[in-house]
């Protein structure tokens, strides 16, 4: 049987904790070797779930867990709230993953604004990529339907 590793535990008590758990979700996703888009996807899901819990006045703890190739986010009150099968195993040994995740948590807590800036930069890059895709789509449409 594969051991379940808890990479991080984040108490959710205040609105600031909602932002913190989002940043931690992104950092753990990065640690697991996921790409920028997957990192943002996980961070957004976790943020929505944490915000809903906060708005409902539900004090809980979010746990980031790894069991074999399964990554999950657990809410102590409701169970699994997000799950994902990893395409490849993490590059680090289990003990190292736990240590690194702990160090990341300390970094997120220490540099809250820097983490928000990184998220903002990622969003800007995605917006630019979407603009390029939109431009390419317009070119394809124009080529299919030339002006008469």
Angle at 58 between CA 27 and CA 77, to 5 degrees: 75
The first and second tokens of residue 36, run together, are 């920028």
Q: What integer pLDDT is reported at residue 106 of this predicted model?
A: 63
CB 39 within 8 A of CB 26: yes
Which range of 64-68, 87-91, 134-138 scores highest in mean pLDDT? It is 134-138
Reported as a single tens digit per residue, the pLDDT across 128-147 is 888 999 899 999 988 888 77
Q: What is the mean pLDDT of the chain?
A: 80
Out of 33-37, 54-58, 77-81, 100-104, the most confident range is 54-58
Q: What is the pTM of this model?
A: 0.69
Q: Is the pLDDT of residue 95 over 80?
A: no
Question: What backbone phi and psi angles, to 5 degrees, belong to 128?
Answer: -60, -40
- Which tens digits make up the pLDDT trace of 21-54? 888 888 888 888 888 888 888 888 888 889 888 8
3-state SS of the chain is: CCCEEEEEEEEECCHHHHHHHHHHHHHHHHHCCCCHHHHHHHHHHHHHHHHHHHHCCCCEEEEEEEECCEEEEEECCCEEEEEEECCCCCCCCHHHHHHHHHHHHHHHHHCHHHHHHHHHHHHHHHHHHHHHHHHHHHHHHHHHCCCC
Segments making up each domain of the chain, as ranges: 4-110
Whole-number Å distance between alpha carbons of 107 and 111: 6
Q: pLDDT tens across 69-78, in order?
A: 788 888 888 8
């Amino acid at each position: 049987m594969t051991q379940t590793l808890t990479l991080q535990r984040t108490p959710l008590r205040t609105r600031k904790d909602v932002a913190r758990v989002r940043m931690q979700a992104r950092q753990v996703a990065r640690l697991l070797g996921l790409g920028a888009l997957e990192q943002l996807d996980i961070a957004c899901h976790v943020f929505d779930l944490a915000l809903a819990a906060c708005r409902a006045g539900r004090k809980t703890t979010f746990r980031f867990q790894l069991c074999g190739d399964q990554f999950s986010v657990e809410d102590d009150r409701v169970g699994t709230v997000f799950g994902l099968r990893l395409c490849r195993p993490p590059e680090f040994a289990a003990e190292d993953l736990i240590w690194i995740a702990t160090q990341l948590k300390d970094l997120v807590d220490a540099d809250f604004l820097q983490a928000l800036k990184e998220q903002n930069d990622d969003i800007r890059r995605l917006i630019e990529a979407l603009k390029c895709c939109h431009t390419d789509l317009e070119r394809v449409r124009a080529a299919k339907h030339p002006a008469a």
